[in-house]
Structure 1
Amino acid sequence: MSRMYHTVIVPAMGLLPIIVSLIRLKYWNEQARILFLYLGLSFTFNIIAKLTAGSNNLPYLHLYTVLEFTIVCLFLKSFSKDRRHRLLFNALIAGFFALSLWYAFIKESLFVFNKIPRFLDSLIISVICLYYLMKDLGSTVSNLSRFQFLTLAGLLFYYSTSSALFGLSDMLIKVPKSVADLFWNIHASLNLLMYIFFAIAFYSLKNLQNGR
């Protein structure tokens, strides 16, 4: 049951924000479209992972990691109009792509878990989300819409734990299965929390088309 929770139940819950987003389709803005793309990507690759279970499907994970980082960076890039920030995001996307190629074809292999890219992916996203949230909370006037705040919080909850898990992935292999399952279930629960935050965020687009 524990394994089913984090491998079947939680991934299936990715449908929740997708359904809510489609219900609120006419209120979408640029950020809503990018977030929907992220959710669609995640759900599609979860299906691929299930269909290829039992074989070495790690090449799909390498591809997913690059696409995931690119889409999330485009989403976070849309929060800033500062030209320097936008150039920084472009550099991050290009640099991460180069890193992923180096890891998959030079340092390791496409058929080995991409520990370093996954860790850096999660860490970078967490830091940027935290920056935007702290900047907003430190301001006397909130500059983030409800949609923006909820999506940033959801991403932060999920990717902060992901960075810790991917950083400790070698250690988790050595601990008892029950302990490893506990860590992955906590991680899955925060993934579920992210989906719930996203669903509420899309629902919040109901009242004002600008996402507030």
Structure 2
Amino acid sequence: MFKAITTWLVTYASFVLFFPIAVAIYRRKYMKKELKVMCYYLAFVLIFQLIAIVVSAVFKTNNLPFLHFYTVVEFGIISWFYKEYLGAFLNTKLIYGIFVLFTALAILNVIFVQSIFEYNSYPRGLECLFVVFYAITAYYKIIKSLEIISIEKSPLFWINAGFLFYFAGSLFLFVLGNLILTQDIQLSMLSWAIHACLVALMYVFIGIGLWHSPRQ
């Protein structure tokens, strides 16, 4: 029973991605600049997942090299999203600098630490820390500026919550990813089932946020 539930979650939780994609298509005329970036993020995730499925299921090839590329591009798009929202509140040069530093460390990790055919746990963990920093900064901007009256109708509030829950919740799993994979199979399945739930929650929150995109 435990194996069946965890396997189902790991296999099908990612299908929740179609919820925010459907909302983005339906509300596409009302997207602000930062929300358009979020649409690019969803499109990228969908394309990557399709490629990963084809490579793994059809060609029976290790798809972990794609994850190294995915991590850098994902962080780049998320950084772009926060740059558009935070604007002058957080120095743009700092956001660019963090992305360049992250990319350099991810490349060095492949060359000297973790093979391209190995799970890139260190860059994934570092990405979590940076995104959590952006999310907390975004909430601080909301509180300090008092620019939102009905916070539950704010697209940024929901999208930011999705990123915060996912990346903060996944930090432990990403950092210890390779260790968990080599331990008890039930522990590994439970960990990835929890990760699948966090992914689904993030997609739901992004979908809710896009739904609240204001009419222009």
TM-score, normalisation: structure 1:
0.89
For 2:22 and 2:90, locate their aligned partners in 1 and report how far apart those are by CA, in whole Å: 36
Structure 1 unaligned regions, length at least 5? none
Match of 2:27 in 1: 24
* 1:24–1:84 Cα change, 3 Å: closer
1:45 maps to: 48
- Range with bigger deviation, 180-189 or 34-43: 180-189
Distance change in 2, residues 1:160/1:42 (3 Å)? same
Return the alpha-carbon distance in structure 2 between the equivalents of residues 87 and 99 of structure 1: 18
Distance, in Å, in 2 between the alignment partners of 1:122 and 1:84 is: 18
How many Å apart are 1:84 and its aligned residue?
5.7
* More displaced 10-residue stretch of structure 1: 147-156 or 104-113: 104-113
| CA distance in 2 between partners of 1:140 and 1:47 (Å) | 40
Aligned in 2, Cα 1:150/1:178: closer, same or farther, shift over 3 Å? same
1:77 & 1:141 partners in 2: Cα distance?
Answer: 19
Q: Does residue 5 in structure 1 map to residue 12 in structure 2?
A: no
Residue deviations 1:148-201 (CA, integer Å, cap 9, x gap)? 110000000111112111112243124322222222212211211111111111
Q: Is 1:56 the counterpart of 2:59 in the alignment?
A: no
> Structure 1 residue 140: deviation in Å?
7.9
TM-score, normalised to structure 2's length?
A: 0.87
Q: Classify 1:107/1:133 alpha carbon distance in 2 versus 1 (closer, same or farther; 3 Å).
A: same
The answer on 1:186 being equivalent to 2:194 is yes
In the alignment, the residues of structure 1 paired with residue 116 and residue 198 of structure 2 have an alpha-carbon distance, to the nearest angstrom, of: 28
Q: Which amino acid aligns with 1:194?
A: M
Structure 1 CA distance, aligned partners of 2:181 and 2:88?
A: 43
Q: What's 1:65 paired with?
A: 71
What letter is aligned with 1:95?
A: L
Choose 92-101 or 61-70, whichever is displaced more.
92-101
Choose between structure 1 and 2: higher helix proportion. 2
Aligned partner of 1:157 in structure 2 is: 165
Distance 1:52 1:30 in 2: 33
Distance across 2 between alignment mates of 1:194 and 1:146: 16
Q: Determine the C-alpha separation between the residues in 2 that align with 1:169 and 1:107.
A: 14
**% identical aligned pairs:** 29
> CA-atom RMSD, angstroms?
2.0
Conservation of the 8 A alpha-carbon contact between 1:62 and 1:110: yes
The answer to whether the Cα contact below 8 Å between 2:128 and 2:168 also exists between their aligned partners in 1 is yes
SS of the counterpart of 1:13? Answer: helix
Which residues of 2 match residues 98-137 of structure 1 at below 5 A?
98-137=104-143
Aligned residue pairs, count: 206
2:86 pairs with 80, 83, 106, which one? 80
Runs of 4+ residues over 3 Å off in structure 1:
142-145
The answer (yes or no) to whether the contact 2:30–2:215 under 8 Å persists in 1 is yes
